[in-house]
Structure 1
Amino acid sequence: MKGPPTPLVEELSRLGYTLMRLLLSRAKEIFAQEGVSLLQAEVLRLVREGVQLPSRLAEQLEVLPSQVSHLLASLEEAGLLERHPDPQDRRRVLLRLTPKGEAVHKRLQEAWLHAYGQHLARLSPKELLLFRDLLRKLTEVEGG
């Protein structure tokens, strides 16, 4: 299958990058209002979704384990996250959000969805569905 023409690929690349930067910038603003960085917010989301091991966080975030340790320490210090020994293997620790961490995660989620929704409001209902379908197609894993 022949790909799209190079000038179109270049334009889509620029537009995709611009959209990504706009959304990341907005996310940073929203998360800063709660006193958390983009990475800290992602840790809260991942732990909330069931990632309990620091090593798994490092994999998901694509960072070094030492970076995860610093992130966890800052979130623990802020009272957003707790580390507990794994009852199955006392050498490992399990992560869990504190009630304060749950509340912060919920506020971050609501603020982000509101901001992203405002951005998407530029599209008509038909365009929104098309955009969703195109994103699904573009984010499918090859061969899966």
Structure 2
Amino acid sequence: MKSSPPPDPAVRDAATRFMTSIWQLQRELGHELDPLLRERAGTDPRAYFLLRTIQDGAQYPKVLSECLGIPPNLLSRFLSDLSAHGLIARQMDEQDSRRVRLSLTPAGTRALGQAEEVIHDCIGARLGRLDVPQLAALLDALRTLTSPDPHPCTTQGTRP
């Protein structure tokens, strides 16, 4: 197998700075959002993403697991918690009785709405630090970085 040339030092530096910035942003947002979500929405970031993804159409555990990259056994525990708190309902699928269909309860819809208000306020304040061109460039760059790539950790000309 052909080995790839070492990355350009500027690219290596950019990768390190990028990962450090992502880590710091994630931690700062967690410290800000966790207590606010618990206080104002009675939820947490994990529950927010589960509720949002169910509302967006991932209404079966297998689909939800794939969408969020959560192992099925862990997802099952998360869904049990949401169900115990009255945020989701589990029904037998009308087309296939072996499948369980997930939906938000009215309490889940309210919690999701309250969580979105908190998230929009918190993240909106951070994004408000950017001018319109900077924000557009950031969002475009993130879209590019999260676009599907068949071999994201390999360089051109090499295969795993």
Q: TM-score range by the shorter chain?
A: 0.7 to 0.9
| Correspondence 1:68-83 to 2 at 5 A | 68-83=75-90
Seen in structure 2, the aligned counterparts of structure 1 residues 125 and 64 have a Cα distance that, compared at 3 Å, is closer
Seen in structure 2, the aligned counterparts of structure 1 residues 91 and 7 have a Cα distance that, compared at 3 Å, is closer
Specify the alignment match of 1:62 in structure 2: 69
Q: Distance in 2 between matches of 1:58 and 1:133?
A: 26
Specify the alignment match of 1:89 in structure 2: 96
- Higher RCO (Cα < 8 Å, 6 or more apart): 2
Specify the alignment match of 1:116 in structure 2: 123
| Correspondence 1:2-81 to 2 at 5 A | 3=8, 5=10, 6-33=12-39, 34-81=41-88
Specify the alignment match of 2:155 in structure 1: none
SS state at 1:42 partner: helix
Specify the alignment match of 2:157 in structure 1: none
Seen in structure 2, the aligned counterparts of structure 1 residues 73 and 19 have a Cα distance that, compared at 3 Å, is same
TM-score in terms of structure 1 length? 0.84
Larger Rg: 2
**Any runs of at least 4 consecutive aligned residues in structure 1 with deviations exceeding 4 A, and if so which?**
1-4
Seen in structure 2, the aligned counterparts of structure 1 residues 132 and 87 have a Cα distance that, compared at 3 Å, is same
Match of 1:138 among 145, 154, 159: 145
Q: Distance in 1 between matches of 2:92 and 2:54?
A: 15
RMSD across aligned C-alpha pairs, in angstroms? 2.1
